[in-house]
Amino acid sequence: MGETWTNEEIISDVLGRGADIDLGGKDRSWRLSRWRQFVGSYELPALPNPTFVVHIGGKPKVKTWLRDGWSEASSIPGCATIVPAGRPTGWLVDGELDVVTLSIASHEFNAAPGLDQFQRLRFAFSDPLGVALTRQVLAELYAPQTADRQVYVSTLVEALKAHMLHGPLTGNSPVFPTSEFSAFRIHHIMNSVLERPEADHNVEALAEEAGLTPSHFCRVFKRATGMSPHKFVMKSRLERAQELLASSGLSIAQVADALGFKSQSHFTRAFRNFAGQTPSAWRSAGLQ
CATH of the domain at 97: 2.60.120.10
pLDDT of the residue at 2: 46
175 part of a folded domain: no
Q: Which residue has the higher pLDDT, 112 or 250?
A: 250
Q: pLDDT at position 34, please?
A: 94
Same domain assignment for residues 134 and 219 = no
Residue environment code for 41-58, b if the CB has 16+ CB neighbours within 10 A, otherwise e: ebebeebbbbbbbbbbeb
250 and 201 within one domain: yes
Domain boundary among 166, 191, 215: 166
Residues 18 and 141 in one domain: yes
Bridge partners of 82, per DSSP, are 52, 122
The confidence score (pLDDT) of residue 187 equals 72
With a CB cutoff of 8 Å and minimum separation 6, the contacts of 74 are 60, 61, 62, 63, 124, 190, 191, 194
223 burial level (CB within 10 Å; 0-12, 13-18, 19+)? exposed
Is 275 within the bounds of a domain?
yes
Q: Say whether both 147 and 212 belong to one domain.
A: no
Residue 249 lies in a domain: yes
Distance, in Å, from the CA atom of 50 to the CA atom of 227, rounded to the nearest integer, reads: 35
122 part of a folded domain: yes
CB 229 within 8 A of CB 205: no
Instruction: Name the domain boundary from 134, 166, 198.
Output: 166
Structural domains in the chain (count): 2
Distance CA 53, CA 67 (A): 21
Give Cα separations from 92 to 47, 59, 160, 222, 268 (angstroms): 18, 11, 26, 24, 28
Whole-Å CA distances, 188 to 194, 251, 265: 10, 32, 31
- What is the pLDDT confidence band of residue 9, given thresholds at 50, 70 and 90? very high
Q: What is the residue range of 261's domain? A: 183-287
Mean of the pLDDT values across residues 116-139?
Answer: 84
Look at residue 34 and tell me if it is in a domain: yes
- 106, 161: one domain: yes
Compute the distance between CA of residue 203 and CA of residue 270 in angstroms, rounded to an integer: 19
Distance, CA of 14 to CA of 35 (rounded, Å): 12
Q: Would you say residue 171 lies in a domain?
A: no
Looking at residue 234, what is its pLDDT?
A: 92
Give the tens place of pLDDT for each residue, 225-248. 778 999 999 998 998 898 888 888
- Beta-carbon contacts of 101 under 8 Å, excluding residues fewer than 6 positions away, are 7, 8, 11, 32, 33, 35, 51, 52, 53, 54
For 162-211, the pLDDT digits (tens) are: 888 776 544 444 444 444 445 567 777 887 888 889 998 999 988 888 87
Question: In this predicted structure, what is the pLDDT of residue 264?
Answer: 93
- Give the dihedral sign, CA 161/162/167/169: negative
Q: What is the pLDDT of residue 271?
A: 93
Asked if residue 141 and residue 212 are part of one domain, the reply reads no
Task: Mark whether 24 and 157 lie in a shared domain.
Answer: yes
Percent of the chain whose pLDDT exceeds 70? 88
User: What is the reported pLDDT for 176?
Assistant: 40
